[in-house]
Amino acid sequence: MSLLDRARAVRENAHAPYSGFKVGAAIRTPSGRVFTGVNVENAAYPEGTCAEAGAIAAMVAAGETAIAEIAVVGDAPAPVTPCGGCRQKIAEFAPPGTPVVMANLRGDVLREPIEALLPHAFAKAHMDGGRP
């Protein structure tokens, strides 16, 4: 099963009764393991979490800290692109060149490296005083 298929499959488990917009995410790490996540909403709307954040949390909890590829999918007219906050969360663990695969349920797929989604990303190097 492709990484995108894993994201599609887990999407079914999203808890999105408020937006009605289910999102699934799947991360493959350099070790070959796959971690998945879904958006989890609650009655206090701003407190919901994105699918990408769930997948990242699962990866880190398992002791892994590198993203080799990430896939995101939702039922939308165009491929679902990660929100701004999730772009920063992905960039924390995804080196430049890491593919972000974005898709919808009707087969449209967009594939971009993380730096195309978050140019001039704020990074740890800024705080080190060095060049990013």
Enumerate residues 55-84 that contact ligand THU by CB under 6 A: 72, 80, 82-83
Determine which residue in the list 19, 31, 42, 65 makes contact with ligand THU, applying CB under 6 A. Answer: 19
Is 92 an annotated catalytic residue? no
How many whole angstroms separate alpha carbon 124 and alpha carbon 103? 30
- Least separation in angstroms between CB 53 and ligand THU: 8
Q: Which stretch binds ligand THU (CB under 6 A): 27-35, 44-52, 110-118, 123-131?
A: 44-52
| Residues in contact with ligand THU by the rule CB under 6 A | 16, 19, 21, 23, 39, 41, 48, 50-52, 72, 80, 82-83, 86
Q: Which residues have a catalytic role annotated?
A: 52
